[in-house]
């Protein structure tokens, strides 16, 4: 079993309230807030699939989908 690999980073922008918690917890700075203060996957290729964004989002707006899941 190797390292998990990102298939998709699904952000439900209509659920996001722009609190920035996901941005703060992301160790590789994949996420940013856009001009509307909504979460955005600016660098998904840098995602290490740690799932911190998904676990910490109070609005359940982020889903990390891994390959072979």
| Sequence spans of domains, the chain | 6-64
pTM: 0.88
Region 6-64: CATH code: 3.30.70.20
List per-residue pLDDT tens for the chain, 69 residues long: 688 999 999 999 999 999 999 999 999 999 999 999 999 999 999 999 999 999 999 999 999 999 985
- In the block, which residue shows the tokens 């609190």? 19
Q: Would you put residue 12 in left (φ > 0), alpha (ψ -120 to 50) or beta? A: beta
Burial class (CB in 10 A: 0-12, 13-18, 19+), 63: middle
């Amino acid at each position: 079993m190797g390292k998990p690999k990102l298939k998709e980073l699904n952000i439900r922008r209509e659920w996001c309230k722009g609190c920035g918690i996901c941005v703060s917890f992301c160790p590789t700075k994949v996420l940013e807030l856009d001009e509307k203060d909504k979460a955005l996957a600016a660098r998904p290729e840098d995602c290490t699939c740690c799932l911190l964004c998904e676990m910490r989002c109070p609005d359940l707006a982020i889903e990390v989908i891994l390959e072979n899941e």
